[in-house]
Copies of this chain bind each other. A is one copy, B any other.
Amino acid sequence: MDVTRTLARYVVEAPVDSVPEIVRREAVRSLVNWVGCAVGGSRHRSVDLALAAVSPFAGSAQAGLLGRSERLDLLNAALLNGIAGHVFDFDDTHLKTIIHPAGPVAAALIGLAELRPVSGRELLHAFILGVEVECRIGNAVYPAHYDIGWHITGTAGVFGAAAAAGRLLGLDEQQMVWALGIAGTQSSGFREMFGTMCKSFHPGRAAQNGLLAAFLAERGFTSSDRVLEAPRGFAHVMATARDFGAITDGLGESFEIALNTYKPFACGIVIHPSIDGCIQLRNEFGLKASDIERIELTVAPLVLELTGKKTPQVGLEGKFSVYHSAAVAILHGRAGEEEYGDAVVRDPAVIALRDRVVATASPAIADDECRVRILLQDGRVLERHVAHAIGSLERPMSDAGLDAKFAGLAEPVLGPAAAERLRSSCWQIETLGDAAAIARGAAA
């Protein structure tokens, strides 16, 4: 079973014009969403600290940081852009694996395009291939791999970054096999880090390490030819179960990026049905916190496992608290990045309502589903069943929704005019002669 080589050959050989228009369209939507997130997240303290730490070691000003004025060597720029894109936990989600697929791949490619000229069409194609690689590898090991405690966006993302970068570098089949091998042997990142700055460090490092893998392979640096399937390779070492057919079957026929989704709310995606339901009831009944005796949520088991923090202390922890999220949904009627600032998490009004939220896990509830029951002070009981949260595959974000999200993220950083130009470049990526226009347009 030649899993790694089969995948490598596909990435090397896939014709640029072989991807259906509907798939390319979703790839563009993914890119728009991610660039907005990266610009929006670029001023976060995690980025400031990481930039301060790596700056003394950085090389020449090859690649820009989205949303900022600094330029670093390509590898460090990829790290920083990868952190920025995920730091709000607002980026895209491949629901089958909970991978946030754009970050590791896009953070690698956006900078690479500044160093090695490439058309927007070629960049988008490499992006689609990189996402294909990481999500197929994710499909092969999910959920066993995730259940152990691996942060799959980092662990699978590094393969995607290597594949996409290797494609733009024009690696041959053997080099691509090595690139995947060098990437895989750097695969890392614990879910234990959720709620700390290391969570966004993972896609940043995945982008950077995948790029390094591609550059090493380009020079002829060798790895195993069987990183995915060998008994001591990725799928056996890092998962208790695996399905290699998920990697090799239907390559070039089905595209995982077509299944990508985008968050309307700036927090862990499993909380979204609860927020959606709370906002619906709030808006319909004009609810205020003082009206509410108790909020009862019946949620999927994963919700409490991933986002069960009852007393978050800082914004990052709030993103992993279904309790905080339900409270701000009622109080603010939204759950954007602002609702996960440290000040909001510590707001006594939010805390008081948060402490009246009760969440119960039920195996009968799907991951994008929720039942909300609000008991009012006057004795009334309001109920709402969210079958599929907004932002799910069944109720996808519209292009207009993505535009509004982009504006909300990018305008405070770049100003309205530059944000609008950047948004337009992203939507029109397939017409760009030089894909570096995106990185240039995203500079502050």
Contact = CB atoms under 8 A, between A and B. Distances in A.
Interface of A: 46, 49-50, 52-54, 56-59, 62, 73-76, 148-151, 181-182, 184-193, 195-198, 201-202, 205, 212, 215-216, 218-224, 226-227, 230-234, 236-237
CB-based closest 4 A-B pairs: A149-B232, A149-B237, A192-B232, A188-B188
A52 B218 CA distance: 10
Given A53-B212, A53-B218, A149-B236, A201 B182 contact: yes
A219 B49 contact: yes
B219 A196 contact: no
A227 B196 CA distance: 12
A205 B193 contact: no
Max chain B C-beta neighbours (<10 A), residue from A192, A221, A237 = A192
Max chain B C-beta neighbours (<10 A), residue from A59, A151, A219, A227 = A59
Given A192-B227, A192-B237, A193-B224, 16 more contacts: A49-B219, A49-B220, A53-B212, A53-B216, A53-B218, A53-B219, A54-B212, A56-B59, A57-B74, A151-B185, A181-B196, A181-B198, A185-B190, A185-B198, A196-B223, A198-B223
Identical chains bound together, number: 2
Max chain B C-beta neighbours (<10 A), residue from A73, A188, A220 = A188
A396 B196 CA distance: 45
A230 B192 contact: yes
A362 to B, nearest CB: 23
A149 B188 contact: no
26 contacts: A49-B219, A50-B221, A53-B218, A56-B59, A56-B215, A57-B59, A57-B73, A57-B75, A149-B231, A149-B232, A149-B237, A150-B237, A186-B188, A188-B188, A190-B224, A190-B232, A190-B237, A191-B232, A192-B226, A192-B227, A192-B231, A192-B233, A193-B223, A198-B223, A198-B224, A201-B221
Nearest to A232: B149
Contacts of A205: 186
A230 B49 CA distance: 25
B198 A237 contact: no
Nearest to A217: B53
Nearest to A187: B188
Contact of A49 (B192, B216, B232): B216
A188 to B, nearest CB: 4
A58 B56 CA distance: 11
Max chain B C-beta neighbours (<10 A), residue from A58, A62, A182, A232 = A232
A76 B149 CA distance: 30
A207 to B, nearest CB: 13
A221 B185 contact: no
A287 to B, nearest CB: 35
Given A181-B198, A198-B223, A190 B150 contact: no
Contacts of A224: 190, 192-193, 195-196, 198
A202 B100 CA distance: 27
A323 to B, nearest CB: 21
Contacts of A57: 59, 62, 73-76, 215
Nearest to A74: B57
